[in-house]
Homo-oligomer: A and B are copies of this chain.
Amino acid sequence: MQDRSDSRRTDRIREALEEMIVEGRFADGERLDEVSLSKSFGVSRTPLREAFQALASSGLVEIRARRGTFVRFPSLEDVVEMFDVMAEIEALCGRYAARRLAQADRLAMGDALRACEDAASIPDVEAYYRANHDFHAAIYRASGNRFLANEAERLHRRLKPFRRLQLRVRGRIPESLAEHTRIFEAIVGGDEAAVSCELRRHIAVQGDGFADLVAGYRAAVTGAKGAARARRPA
């Protein structure tokens, strides 16, 4: 978001751990050992513990008092719930954007849409993935509500590993691009109802999308190191 010099070890480690968790380098329920991790990062336990706190607040790990810190994969049910909420948040952003679109935001969305088209025509999944994020982020900002935009960005980030797997589904990219185009046009046209409807459908997990998500979820979970070895008690 901001420039944040990130000279602190705490920040560096938080980012590294976040990446590792999202990439599935730990198993679900695995305990993150302060001592061994601090050794492998070459720092003391202090910045590590601070990083744990930050990760806990974004839901990636769970700190249990005097027990330790455990990586927490959302359950399939959790993921479905999060996508439901994401769809509504996106629809809300889109509605606001359609209502009060500023010139600068329109240009940003247009640029991002063009980047999507370029990536889809190659096709380059990684590039599309990035362009997809930029397009959605542009909609968040176009909502004109910074608080909403931040919340949307946060949730988008949290769903990152699952969305990524969805995009790999055969034929999903052209479809996604077509939806983007319709969304963009509806926003520019100021058609709130259409934007809301299109975005909800674009994000929502329903029909075939649900099967894709389940497949993607299983891949993400079993792909993670060791996989669901230790299930959490709660």
Contact = CB atoms under 8 A, between A and B. Distances in A.
A81 B145 contact: yes
A88 B94 CA distance: 13
Give the interface residue-count category, chain A.
Answer: 20 to 34
B7 A65 contact: yes
Contacts of A5: 65
A208 interface: no
A156 interface: no
A145 B54 contact: no
A18 interface: no
A103 interface: no
The winner among A6, A7, A148 for most chain B CB atoms within 10 A is A148
B53 A85 contact: no
A145 B145 CA distance: 24
Interface in A1-55: 4-8, 11, 46, 49-50, 53-54
B50 A85 contact: no
Nearest to A145: B81
A147 B54 contact: no
